[in-house]
Chain A
């Protein structure tokens, strides 16, 4: 879809929607005229608009409401002091009750409370118990509660304080139950440990508040909310009524966690969790605390009974049991407990000794689902690195440099279209838009405010002001590069002369060259506006020097090209890595050692010119070549449909199918590096490594019975021919060693010879035959022609040979009888890189112009080659390796070495590159 066409679609679309439905059709016909495609498009879009079904209608999420209060705001008689966190239903603030002059906590809900909710709240406000966080007041959308400072519950604790806490909560429950109030949401997160003991918060109200996505009325009865089921009772999960016994269950869960430090029920997902709560027993206490009194275990079991009828029926009874159990001695004198409290210490003072009160962190109160673990401190921010895509149907110009603006928000780059034509673009990082710049691509420099860019053209330099889109030619002679000077002036270099400064009061030459002594180029103004860096090119060397606007003699800074980057670094390029070297711009001196920043940055024509640039605020933009090229072995059928793959992406070369088609031998590894031969079992998708002792094991070639594999390896400094058992058993045996590189190509089906190629200074490669029926195997030259011949395969009946040579100028596939009788045919009309026989010798497959071709082969006839037909277009393949495709024996499938399109640069932007130095 082109932008222009899209605009038309858009205009007509909106106009059509403005029409009353009755006249819409007629309007469309008129507006689109003969362009039925356009009309159908708009009609389809209008249909989609009217229908209510779209995945986009369900947003992924909605941000939290703005229930935000400013400090000192007054909410009735309450003055807001500071926020203390987020509750399940709204924000919580610390506030001052100005009438009673006491500190309170206010929870603001996201919506209005229902009448029912308010009634319940009022009932709760009548509760007055030392272990209940008192509810003071209820407003239309807020709750005012006792301000509690305490810490969350954390287990495991020794039995006495754990039981003491549970007993206190049981007392709180009892008080509530007597007034007919059920908490419904009892869990460790709703209990705070304060100086005066544990406090139960958030009585049942979280279950009924608006904004939880459940209608309040049903919530009361069912007690179900969208949330974590870990603390729900079995009856709750089943939708049965919630009663006081549900609170007892909750208390059991709390006690379990206090004693063990673990949740009673845990699972990886909701479904398992629910199943556990409904049917499973939690791990026995004794597995955590071997010395706990058996009575405690019995109390806990009774709290956690699945059937509410089997539990403790009243919180009061439970409290008594707990208090009694707290006085019990442990079962066996424990080494496990750190220090049991001495006799006479009451539970209350014990909390103080545990230091919990002292910990009093600014508390997140009622309703916040706290787990028993503390929240971990947020780790330092991570580095952001992302890629920018080239404009569609283009790729980044391989000799260009991505120029990032000083504010780090825009990147300017040149791209080449499919037709090779170059164009200039600016990518805006925050908005994601890439827009075309109507200028001839050339070296470019951004102004400091990022609002203009100076682009060097053939006969000068043009300044483009982005806001207005205005282009002005500001330098009118041929320059090698241009940049900004101070205060909107310009610096530029002229070949053969030096760097010039176009100041307000005229032009000045600020560096001078001796004639014939290279060039000065790429000036870059330094902070302070008096000095500038520039490149000194000398034919063989490229250095960075520091010059001065006042014309002082420049001085060398670094022996390679470099750019200044705040806060005080020179970025330069070594190998393929951008390096950062500390640099003092006021003195113009480098200090310290250079450290690597990012590797695999590509360079343009010269190895010292890395393709990168920096902003003034830590953004680094660079071109990179994709990671080591990996290929995929993919099966294709004769129609060109991919029907399977073998293995995953890797650097494959020279795949070879076993004669029975059940195995594949292939060389894996980077060219020039360590390549090993692997054998894949195609059925089982397993692979074993066959040859790896020497470096550079390549060109696996199967013996006709599939029991052995011949291959080339660089064992002795040159590539020689070896063979070993296909199962990998046994040592490798030498077939042929000599001080010339050779590679095996094909093992004849009658087992009598091995075709191979051998390096030759003059023609680069010749075809040789290694006769295998004698011992030792004897080599002889096969095709001693004055041109290169580097690949060959004998026909299954061994009477013909297909081979590749560049006879005639381009590499192509040829055919000759065996033994040669002088006749020969050209199989591929144009250039062709690879061919293969069908297993019965009746068809020849070959690549031509990126397509898979097939030609019938009729050996009896005077012209044995049929007319080649194109089967399908090949995917991108690496044509340099032998056997980038192999054919199955029946000729129905082809295994192709697919490759990523080569040579496509990627543009990567790194935010805050100084962070990279922190990690080293």
Chain B
């Protein structure tokens, strides 16, 4: 099963980066499932490696899903672009749920349905950042995406440029201003 999932993701990434938009739709569930599973294990402390960052999660997902020998770097960039979005959603959901539990309210719809007792140290920051990113996306969706790709996805400037189909200079300019604006918002 592992082998076929690998082939699937690699082929899908290839297809997507060649312009086959539909490939993305089939790709997302595969990645999401894997990330979700890892996030859950991580957040329950099952990894026995409390110092593991989400970084290692997506690393692991990447390795398990992707046949490393056949990947071109553009495909990798796309893979992490998808992971960036999903990882953001998963972590923010987890941070928010934890916040609710702390206040004593009933968690309404918990995606990560186990009770969460360990969380990345930057959880509150994540929530604030997520809110600020939503606000930014209201008037400049591309910059919000740049931040999502680079911060949640760890993509380099070139990789982000590849995903968004703009020049690296544009990404850099976007990043600069977005970073300034978000920092201002988070400080406020």
Contacts and interface: CB of A to CB of B under 8 A. Distances in A.
Interface of A: 1-3, 6, 10, 13-14, 17, 44-46, 48-49, 51, 53-57, 59-64, 66, 68-71, 82-83, 86, 91, 226-228, 230, 266, 268-270, 371, 377-384, 386, 389, 391-392, 407-409, 430-434, 450, 617-619, 627, 648-649, 911-912
A270 B58 CA distance: 22
A227 B51 contact: yes
Contacts of A51: 183
A619 to B, nearest CB: 7
Given A70-B69, A617-B22, A371 B28 contact: no
Would you list the 8 A-B pairs with minimal beta carbon distance, nearest first? Answer: A61-B55, A381-B33, A433-B141, A48-B180, A54-B183, A45-B180, A381-B29, A382-B33
B183 A378 contact: no
B94 interface: no
Nearest to A271: B50
6 contacts: A14-B177, A56-B183, A378-B5, A432-B144, A649-B108, A911-B25
Given A48-B180, A48-B184, A386-B89, 11 more contacts: A1-B138, A10-B177, A55-B183, A56-B151, A71-B69, A266-B48, A268-B118, A269-B50, A377-B2, A392-B138, A409-B21
Interface majority SS (helix, strand, loop, mixed), chain B: helix
A44 B187 CA distance: 12
Interface in B66-112: 68-71, 73, 76, 80, 85, 87, 89, 91, 104-106, 108
A450 B64 CA distance: 33
Contacts of B30: 381
Interface in B96-151: 104-106, 108, 118, 120, 122, 125, 129, 134, 137-142, 144-145, 147, 150-151
Contacts of B180: 13, 45-46, 48-49
Nearest to B88: A60
Interface string B1-26: 11001000000000000000110111
A44 B188 CA distance: 11
A14 B181 CA distance: 13
B24 A409 contact: yes
Contacts of B186: 55
Interface of B: 1-2, 5, 21-22, 24-26, 28-30, 32-34, 36-37, 45, 48-51, 53-56, 58-59, 62-64, 68-71, 73, 76, 80, 85, 87, 89, 91, 104-106, 108, 118, 120, 122, 125, 129, 134, 137-142, 144-145, 147, 150-155, 164, 173, 176-177, 179-184, 186-187
Nearest to B58: A61
Contact of B68 (A83, A383, A408): A83
Contact of A49 (B134, B150, B176): B176
Contacts of B45: 268-269
Nearest to A85: B63
A66 B73 contact: yes
Contacts of A49: 176-177, 179-180
Contacts of B21: 407, 409, 430, 450
A61 B54 contact: yes
B184 A44 contact: yes
Given A49-B180, A71-B69, A648 B104 contact: yes
B139 A382 contact: no
B139 A1 contact: yes
A64 B64 contact: no
Contact of B173 (A14, A86, A409): A14
Contact of A618 (B25, B63, B70): B25
Contacts of A617: 22, 25-26
Contact of A432 (B32, B34, B73, B141): B141
A270 B176 contact: no
Contact of B140 (A6, A55, A70): A6
B183 A228 contact: no
A64 B5 contact: no
Contacts of B22: 407-409, 617
Most chain B beta-carbon contacts within 10 A, residue among A10, A57, A226, A649:
A10
Contact of A379 (B33, B51, B155): B33
B179 A61 contact: no
Nearest to B184: A48
A378 B37 contact: yes
B32 to A, nearest CB: 5
B107 to A, nearest CB: 10
Given A54-B183, A56-B183, A617-B25, A91 B68 contact: yes
A44 B182 CA distance: 11
Nearest to A392: B138
A392 B137 CA distance: 10
Contacts of B181: 45, 48
A60 B152 contact: yes
Given A13-B177, A378-B1, A407-B21, A2 B28 contact: no
B24 A430 contact: yes
A269 B44 CA distance: 11
A430 B22 CA distance: 11
A350 B142 CA distance: 63
Contact of A59 (B62, B70, B151): B151
A268 B151 CA distance: 29
Contact of A230 (B1, B48, B70): B48
Nearest to A230: B48
Given A44-B184, A48-B180, A63 B48 contact: no
Nearest to A630: B108
Contacts of A408: 22, 25
A430 B21 CA distance: 9
A384 B152 contact: no
A268 B43 CA distance: 12
Contacts of A648: 104-106
A56 B29 contact: no
Nearest to B71: A68
A382 B29 contact: yes
A51 B105 CA distance: 39
A432 B21 CA distance: 14
A432 B106 CA distance: 30
Contact of B28 (A269, A270, A384): A384
A380 B76 CA distance: 22
Nearest to A1: B139
A409 B147 CA distance: 21
A854 B34 CA distance: 57
Given A268-B45, A269-B45, A382-B36, A63 B51 contact: no
A383 B33 CA distance: 8
Contacts of B87: 60
A66 B26 CA distance: 24
A46 to B, nearest CB: 7
B64 A378 contact: yes
Nearest to A383: B29
A392 B68 CA distance: 42
B25 A431 contact: no
Contacts of B34: 378, 381
B59 A63 contact: yes
Most chain A beta-carbon contacts within 10 A, residue among B50, B73, B76:
B50
A254 B164 CA distance: 50
A431 B145 contact: yes
A912 B29 contact: yes
B69 A82 contact: yes
Contacts of A66: 73, 76
